[in-house]
Amino acid sequence: MSVTTLSSRVLAQRQPSWLVRLFDYKPFLIVICLAPAIGLLAVFLTYPLGLGIWLAFTDTTIGQKGIFVGLDNFQYLLSDPLWWNAVFYSVVYTGIATFGKFALGFWLALLLNNHFPFKSLLRAIILLPWIVPTVLSALAFWWIYDPQFSIISYLLVDVLHWRTTNVDFLGSPWPARFSLIAANIWRGIPFVAISLLAGLQTISPSLYEAAMLDGASAWQRFRYITFPMMMPILAIVMTFSIIFTFTDFQLVYAITRGGPGNSTHLLATLAFQRGIAGGELGEGAAIAVSMIPFLVFATLFSYFGLARRKWQQGEAND
């Protein structure tokens, strides 16, 4: 009897405390480890996003508290030609700039993937447009596009005498739109080129060697090896590129402020113009919120692009 009692006591002493048991409990550990991250996300991401979405449903102005107005801001935007114009140009800007960045960036990546002298130096130089702060790039382009003092006009008019008048890059809608797209392409190429170069370098040379032994042409090697193997990285880089381009603000605001007229407003610059400069916080927030469907589309594009892993093996899609 006494032995049994002793054993029970020993067992009782060996029983870990509730705190130790709690920290041995896996679900609790998961919660406690994730809590700081969730807290940070809640404070710095969820709250601002939630506040922005809430503001979109109010008539808040700078200096005055607003009231809930339901879908009023969105209804107004649907009838606002300036918002439609911004949607149109945002899509055009993103589409053409992304295409330009990828065409040139991929080409550049393929070139840089070859062996040639001073390869490292050239790669570093190509990164320059990405390193320079956007506002600085914008100021440089602003000078390049200046109606009176443009270096391009100077070359064409004063040096080469090919024109008699300066080129008015930013004075009318379409030239201004394409000028901004050109600036965005210039700035975005390094990101695409370097990212795709990293992807190219993960492709095993043995695949190319085998293809060459089989007599595959350069185009066939690109079509059946490089391109499929690059699809995952292409998809993710393109997604990021689309998101960055669609939400671009600095280039446009520093060069044209949405002008001439409102022809070069992107949704991001229009949101700022209405919400901050114009003081209509609710409406500005609604314009920003109206960008979400486009950005969700870009994210889904990435998801489905990445999901097609069989591309890597040159097989059909799932």
Partner 1 sequence: MRNDITRRDALALGLSAATVAATGVAAHAQSAIKVADAPAPKLPIEKGATLRMLRPVRFVQADEDVFRANAAKFTKETGVEVKIDFVGWEDISQQTAVTANSGAGPDIIIGFSDAPHIYIDKLIELTDVADYVGKRYGGWLPLAQRYGKKNKSDTWIGLPFGASAGPLIYRKSILQSVGFDKVPEDHAGILDLCQKLQKAGKPAGFALGNAKGDGNGFASWALWSHNAALLDEEGSLTINSKETIAALNWVKQLYPTFIAGTTSWNDVSNNRAYAAQEIALTANGVSLYFSLKNDPATKAIADDSEHQLLPKGVAKISPMAGLTLNAMVFKHSQYPNAAKAFLQFMLEKDQYEPWLNANSGYWAQPLAAYADAAVWSQDPKVKIFKDTMNSTYYDGYKGPISTATGAVSADYVLIQMFASVATGAATPEAAAAEAEQRCKRYFRRQK
Point out which residues bind partner 1 (CB under 8 A): 59, 61-64, 76, 81-82, 145-149, 165-166, 168-173, 176, 256-262, 273-274, 276-280
Residue with tokens 């996003």: 49
Residue 106 falls in which region: left (phi positive, over 0), alpha (psi -120 to 50) or beta: alpha
One-letter identity of residue 107: W
Residues 272 and 75: their CA atoms lie apart, in Å, by 19
Residue 112: which of 35, 37, 192 has the closest Cα? 192
The answer to whether the beta carbons of residues 234 and 199 sit under 8 Å apart is yes
One-letter identity of residue 159: V
Residue with tokens 């190319």: 208
Smallest separation (angstroms) from partner 1 to the CB of 199: 39
Residue 199: which of 158, 170, 173, 228 has the closest Cα? 228
Smallest separation (angstroms) from partner 1 to the CB of 42: 21
Beta-carbon count within 10 A of 213 CB: 8
Smallest separation (angstroms) from partner 1 to the CB of 72: 10
Would you say 16 or 261 has its CB closer to partner 1? 261
Smallest separation (angstroms) from partner 1 to the CB of 178: 14
How far, rounded to the nearest angstrom, does the alpha carbon of residue 140 sit from its chain's CA centroid?
22
Would you say 153 or 247 has its CB closer to partner 1? 153
Beta-carbon count within 10 A of 102 CB: 21
Smallest separation (angstroms) from partner 1 to the CB of 275: 11
Smallest separation (angstroms) from partner 1 to the CB of 213: 58
